[in-house]
Amino acid sequence: MAEKIIFHIDVNNAFLSWESVYRMQAEGKERDLRTIASAIGGDKAKRHGIILAKSMQAKKYKVQTGEPIVDALRKCPHLVIVPPRHEIYLQYSEKFMNILKNYSPDVERFSVDEAFVDMTGTEKLFGKPRQAAECIKKEIYDTLGFTVNVGISNNKLLAKMASDFEKPDKVHTLFPEEIQEKMWPLSVRELFFVGKAAEKKLNSLGIYTIGDLARTDKEILQSVMKKQGETIWNFANGKDVSFVEHHKESNKGYGNSTTLSFDVSDVSTAQMILLSLAENIGRRLRKDGVKIEMVSVGLRFFDMTNASHQCILEHPTNITDEIHQVACQLLEEFWDGTPVRLIGIQTGRVTEGEGVRQLSMFDNTDYEKLERLDKAMDSIRERFGSGAVKRASLTEKRNKPL
């Protein structure tokens, strides 16, 4: 049996890279945001919002992802801040995933900008693992214009750890025989699944490096950290038995989610992300000529726990604004501001045909106008591309009450 070969492929500074590439390729702009002190964030004029991504030059001024824009501008007054365009980023994400599928049928999307690829048995097609990794990396850059890191190992955990080594535009290996040299000297915080709280507990036990963790009695860890203690002990020793799983989209509903590179804790950013997700779902619903009667919002928190909330609509819909408003209401009902890493919308109870909407004297919403707006936007995007038109609320803070 061929040795397992798993790649973890991670886009370098995804949002900033995708924004830079789009500006140069689609809009003809000469300045590459990646070469100057720049960031993706909220409205600079209004000085609200947070930093979603920053360039290497901005990092030199200690600008941090997730910090308020006003704080970033104090550190770097000449920081160039551009608003996020999540629709465009999702397009690049799909193109990135499609290239990976040319190399293996087993591609697992781990987040919007990273994926696992099972390359076992592909050596005759693409060469040895490092050669294949360089080939993938080059094709992504030549075709899409941005760089990636590739981590190579025989399991997912070690491949992901390898891809986080020196960046950008690098290929790294981390096979079991390399763990002690390459992984054990790292801070325990660098280990997957170890957050701030876990790091504090481990430090209290005198555990500061991954090597310290790997050499600690597993029972001690379990007594202090329960199931997580056993999990991170296995990870520190390079043990991971999970498979690369290709998740097929359910035909019973339409959904979309995104994993961010930072923890979201403010409502305005979460609502903006929900709008981008609702836009994608609504467009697909209208293209297929169907409507939905159930909307669910799901969150994955910083500690990898999950929560969701759903509701049944009074009337079937495929209107973007209506889906977004319902999603925002659900978010308000069950989210207490705990930092989240993943935000998603899932819909269900799909119906075909126009459906019937009963009028209410208490509802003054002009649904026909919203439908015409969606139809016009869909038509423009169909002719000129998805980035040809966007809603202003994807770049401005929504002041509209829910």
Catalytic residues: 114
Whether the Cβ atoms of residue 278 and residue 324 lie closer than 8 Å to each other? yes
The CB density around residue 362, as the number of other CB atoms within 10 Å, is 4
First to last CA, the chain: 57
Q: Quick one: CA dihedral 319, 325, 326, 327, positive or negative?
A: positive
Residue 317's alpha-carbon distances to 105, 365, 366, 396, in angstroms, are 35, 13, 13, 25
Q: DSSP assignment, residue 86?
A: H
Helices (H), 40-85: 56-59, 69-75
Q: Quick one: CA dihedral 264, 267, 269, 272, positive or negative?
A: positive
Q: What is the CA radius of gyration of the chain?
A: 23
367 contact partners, CB below 8 Å, separation of at least 6 = 319, 322, 357
- The token duo for 131 is 């050669």
- The token duo for 289 is 């000529």
